Amino acid sequence: MTPEMLLTMIVLVFVIVLFVFEWVRVDVVGILMMVLLPLIGLISPGDAFVGLSSNAVISIIAVIIMGAGLDKTGVMNQVARPIIKLAGRSESRIITLIAGTVGVISSLMQNIGAAALFLPAAQRIAKRVGIPASRILMPMGFCAIIGGTLTLVGASPTILLNDLMTIEGRQLEPFGLFTQTPIGICLLITAILYFIIFGRFILPSGTGESDESVTTSLMEAYRAFDTIFEIHVPQGAAGTGRIAELDLQARYLVTTVAIHHARRNEKNFVPRSTDKIEAGDDIAVLGRKKNVMKMAEEQGWQVKDTLDVFAESLSRTTAGMAEVIVSPRSELIGKTMSETDFKTIYGVNPIALFKGNRIYYSGLTHIRLQMGDTLLLFGPWDRFHILKNYPQPRSLTFSTPLEGEILRPQKAKLAVIWLAVALFQVIFLKLQLSVALMSGALGMILTGVLKIEEAYRAVDWMTVFLLAGLIPLGIAFEKTGTAAFIAEGILGLIGDPSPIVLLGVVGLMTSFFTLVISNVGATVLLVPLCMNMALMAGGDPRMAALVVGLSASNTFVLPTHQVNALIMKPGGYRTVDYAKAGAFMTLLFLIVELTVIYFFYGI
Amino acid sequence: MAIITISRGCFSHGKEVAEKTGEMLGYKVISRETLIEEAAQVYHVPEKELIQSVHAPSVLERFTRGKEQYLSYIQAMLLEHAVHDNLIYHGHASHMLLPDISHVLNVRILADIPDRIAFMQQSHAISDKEAMRHITAEDQQRARWADYLYKIDITDPNLYDIIIHIKNLNIGDACNIIYHTAQMDAFAATPESRQAIADLALRSRVTAAIESAVKLDMKYAVNANSGIVHIRTGTPSIRKTSYMNQNTQDYLREKIKQETRDEIAQAIKDIPGIKNVIYEIAPPDYT
């Protein structure tokens, strides 16, 4: 053993201790390594920061930017909508569709983003069909985690692999974006089958907290609204004419928030009292269900089951509610909303006014506003964002967070095109992953899918520094011969196993390490070690690296895993539920992963 | 008008003193055992676990928060009685369950070892040596328990208003001393001290409800002041297992903060006496 090896081992022990006890955050351990390793002479100062320019880091930055671009244009919502419609009423079909889609989306996007996208819909479907949300959410969460194994850029550990695959000074052939896809697909299918067959036995049947958006909690707080209803005004209906004449607010406590004028084929999202409702029009209203029904009956209107004409424009990702307070020094003080032409200027509908200790639901626009009066507004999120960005002194101060963001649906096609361009370069031109993905990200920025500031803001700096800092450690581990030295020692102890047994041990070891320390940390420490062990045992070092990379995603039993944390309360899960459902999943994961590798990857 | 806590070692005549003084003053007398029975019923937990909670923790228990949970139930039960005054409570380190209330008279009863051994032998057929071993072990484990939970030395005289040594003074004398002291102006309940005990009662009801329903795996603090409850807690860290964009990170942070708040709100919503709740919830960290 050389002094360098000894030093490396000391550093490794130190790093493991830091990972286990978490005295500093994992990414800070990464930064520490970038500084410490050149200081003690284990790597040259020039190599200290190579991690920052590594394939892994650039790929992650590019993937995050492209994902943010897809979010920003609402592409993902458009993907989700038809799938949710297809779900039907059968539990296994709902699980297959939702969990399967989430898995596929996570293959190229952040896994938690995919899960979060489907979370509200999954909860709604569960409620509608009458099955506990817990039966759908955990399959969805687990598939989001597994989805990360579908492509090389699906999860942090696999992205790292190509940068760590150096052995005895030679660079091994890098993995392609889809090398691991067959394994991922088998894992995804296994997970879905596992939950369809055993779900009812291993998942609790409780319903967790319901989907509480700011809009729904505001509706509850004001007590005069159940949800948004869409109504069709048929030919010959009694209720036609100016809104002011119909007097819907005063008679039914119902507020009209949008009108689709059939004759002009035009949608009006800030209907005013002078606007007319005519036969053939569709309107969207807010109010209590019983009031809306009564109104529809008396006016001869038809209430639709779901949003139809306004499905897109009034969906919760594009429009909703916010509560605002009339600010000190606001120009609205002392004036009525009709005097200030509130709807035209702000482009949102006032729904209720909280003044003193009274709430007004009708005649709001004729009440003089005072500082501190609270208004409940309904409108598209982009209008709210514009309002919020007014320079100081703002006339209105927001008392609730804004749920939605400004979307650019008109750029959706461009976002998809750039993603396709990036993938085309990877698959057909065999371009290096980082270059291909970054060109897609750049394309999105150049064509205005998202602004460069938005791209910078989206980047996950914690993951960037974690990867960038630990890559030099992995390199030093291999370069100093320490990995080979330890591998030799371990093999000396356990004898000469066959390659598949060795891979089994590698998978088991990684799955265990990942539970105790960060999965990226586990990958960095185990890849050099396991590649050496595989080489000495006559196996394929690349496969050993792949098993480590994939098994690092085998973290189903952790309730603190980012995806599990997301679904824990909505699913009403307890820690023990993850342990129960996750332990078996962990085992299945290993069996399927090794079986596919054994039969199809030629170990 | 006063509340008397009697802290004692095992077989030190604490129970007799408490019961006799209770008769003299016409006060209700409750023991740790009564509280445990009540808490087991109210919070649906096995009595065995509650009894365990008033014993020194094992190494494993120092890492889990089981003891604090059960103790919060016992304290909540005691305070349900204490808000009505005229109460004698006997149990070890009993004064720690009612800290800083001016109309609480904290008494410690001491007895000599030979006397304790003899007293123990009245109810147990064991040798002097065995009795001695039992008493010493029990004293040590109570001291460890108090040290672990409250960081106090139960033998420290500063913790008590009076300490009575049953040797030259007999049980009747001890009762007389407590009887007279309890009637002094210093231990008369004042509007402020009643408010203090009401606040403490509300705080322990809220704490017990949180422990029972929410099971926060982390330290949290509850305070109550005239019906306004202030709850401060963190949230468990999230293990970042793959990349996340900043928006998603912020979204998850807010979501978990909100869920924790909603869960606590749900757990305490039926507690009487809450006028307002102020939540201070730190969002989760990513690790």
CA distance A177 to chain B (A): 17
* Boundaries of every domain in chain B: 3-187, 214-281
Mean pLDDT of B25-47: 89
Cβ atoms of B248 and A116 within 8 Å: the answer is yes
Inspect the interface and report whether the beta carbons of B241 and A519 lie closer than 8 Å.
yes
B252, closest residue in chain A (CA to CA): A566
Confidence at residue B58, expressed as pLDDT on a 0 to 100 scale: 64
How many A×B Cβ pairs under 8 Å?
100
Q: Which of A113, A116, A462 sits opposite B240 (nearest CB)?
A: A462
Which of B243, B249, B258 to mutate to test binding with chain A, by most A CBs within 10 Å of its CB?
B243
Name the residue with higher pLDDT: A303 or B147.
A303
CA distance B263 to chain A (A): 9
Nearest CB to A148; choose among B240, B242, B256: B242
Tell me which residues of chain A, numbers 68 to 127, contact chain B at a CB-CB cutoff of 8 Å: 68, 71, 110-113, 116
What is the token pair recorded at B204?
């322990």
Task: Please list the residues that pair with A577 across neighbouring strands.
Answer: none
Using an 8 Å CB-CB cutoff, list residues of chain B that contact chain A. 236-249, 251-252, 254-256, 258-259, 262-263, 284-287
Interchain CB distance below 8 Å, A458 and B259:
no
Cis before residue A393, ω within 30 degrees of 0?
Answer: yes
d(CA A459, CA A60): 8
Nearest residue, CB atoms, B248 vs list A113, A462, A555: A113
* Residue where the block lists tokens 């100062």: A45
Q: How far is A595 from chain B (nearest CA, A)?
A: 25
Residue B64 pLDDT: 59
Tell me whether residues B247 and A71 touch, CB distance under 8 A. yes
CATH of domain B3-187: 3.40.50.300
| pLDDT value for A142 | 96
Apex A382 CA angle, A285 and A271, nearest 5: 30
Q: What ipTM was assigned to the predicted interfaces of this complex?
A: 0.85
Nearest to B243 among A71, A110, A212 (CB): A110
pLDDT at res. B1: 66
Full set of structural domains in chain A with CATH: 214-303 (3.30.70.1450), 319-398 (3.30.70.1450)
Average pLDDT in chain B: 87
Q: How far is CA A25 from CA A275, A558, B106, B227, in A?
A: 58, 18, 47, 39
Q: Which of A26, A110, A212 minimises the CB distance to B248?
A: A110
Query: Do residue A209 and residue B248 have CB atoms under 8 angstroms apart?
Result: no
Between helix B113-123 and helix B128-150 the angle, nearest 10°, is: 110
Q: Which residues in chain B have Cβ-Cβ distances shorter than 8 Å to A155?
A: 241-242
Residues of chain A with pLDDT under 70: 207-212, 603
Q: How far is A483 from chain B (nearest CA, A)?
A: 25
Instruction: Name the residue with tokens 């008397």.
Output: B4
pTM of the model: 0.85
Three-state secondary structure of chain B: CCEEEEEECCCCCHHHHHHHHHHHHCCEEEEHHHHHHHHHHHHCCCHHHHHHHCCCCCCHHHCCCHHHHHHHHHHHHHHHHHCCCCEEEECCCHHHHCCCCCCEEEEEEEECHHHHHHHHHHHCCCCHHHHHHHHHHHHHHHHHHHHHHHCCCCCCHHHCCEEEEECCECHHHHHHHHHHHHCCHHHCCCHHHHHHHHHHHHHHHHHHHHHHHCCCCCCEEEEEECCEEEEEECCCCEECCCCCCHHHHHHHHHHHHHHHHHHHHHHHCCCCCCCEEEEEECCCCEC
CB contact under 8 A, B243 and A458: no
For A181, A219, A329, A358, the CA distances from A326, given in Å and listed in that order, are 55, 20, 9, 16
User: How much is the pLDDT for A83?
Assistant: 85
Nearest chain A Cα distance for residue B113, angstroms: 46
Beta strand residue intervals within A26-141, DSSP E: none
Instruction: Name every chain B residue with its beta carbon within 8 A of the beta carbon of A111.
Output: 242
User: How near does any CA of chain B get to the CA of A64, in Å?
Assistant: 6
Task: Please tell me the predicted confidence (pLDDT) of residue B57.
Answer: 66
* Best to test chain B binding among A560, A573, A574, A576 (most B CBs inside 10 Å): A560
Chain B residue whose CA is closest to A66 = B245
Measured CA distances, A556 to A140, A254, A589, B113 (Å): 12, 47, 10, 57
A256 touching chain B per CB within 8 A: no
Question: Under an 8 A CB cutoff, do A25 and B285 touch?
Answer: yes
Q: In what order do the strands lie in the sheet with A282-287?
A: A266-268, A255-261, A282-287, A227-232, A302-303
**Under 8 Å between Cβ of A159 and A467:** yes
Question: What pLDDT, on a 0 to 100 scale, did the predictor assign at position B60?
Answer: 60
Are A460 and B243 inside 8 Å of each other by CB? yes
- A68:B245 CB<8 A: yes
* Subunit contact A562:B259, Cβ cutoff 8 A: no
Q: Which two tokens stand for residue B124?
A: 């147990």
Q: Which of A215-229, A434-448, B155-169, B175-189 has the lowest mean pLDDT?
A: A215-229
- A67, A555, A569 member nearest B245 (Cβ): A67
Contacts with B, A 294-323, CB within 8 Å: none
What is the pLDDT, as a whole number, of residue A200?
A: 87
Residue contact A558–B258, C-beta within 8 A: no
- A-chain residue closest to B253, CA distance: A566
Q: Which residue has tokens 């700011």?
A: A214
pLDDT at B238: 92
- pLDDT at site A428: 92
Q: Which residues in chain B are contacts of A110 at CB distance < 8 A? A: 242-245, 248
> Which residue of chain A has the CA closest to B249?
A460
Q: Closest Cα of chain A to B240: distance in Å?
A: 6
Helices and strands (DSSP H and E) totals, chain A: 26, 14
Of chain A residues 515-554, which have a CB less than 8 A from chain B? 518-519, 553
How far is the C-alpha of A575 from the C-alpha of A584, rounded, in Å?
Answer: 15
| pLDDT given for residue A158 in this prediction | 94
Q: How far apart are CA B67 and CA B49, in angstroms?
A: 9
Percentage of chain B surpassing pLDDT 90? 41
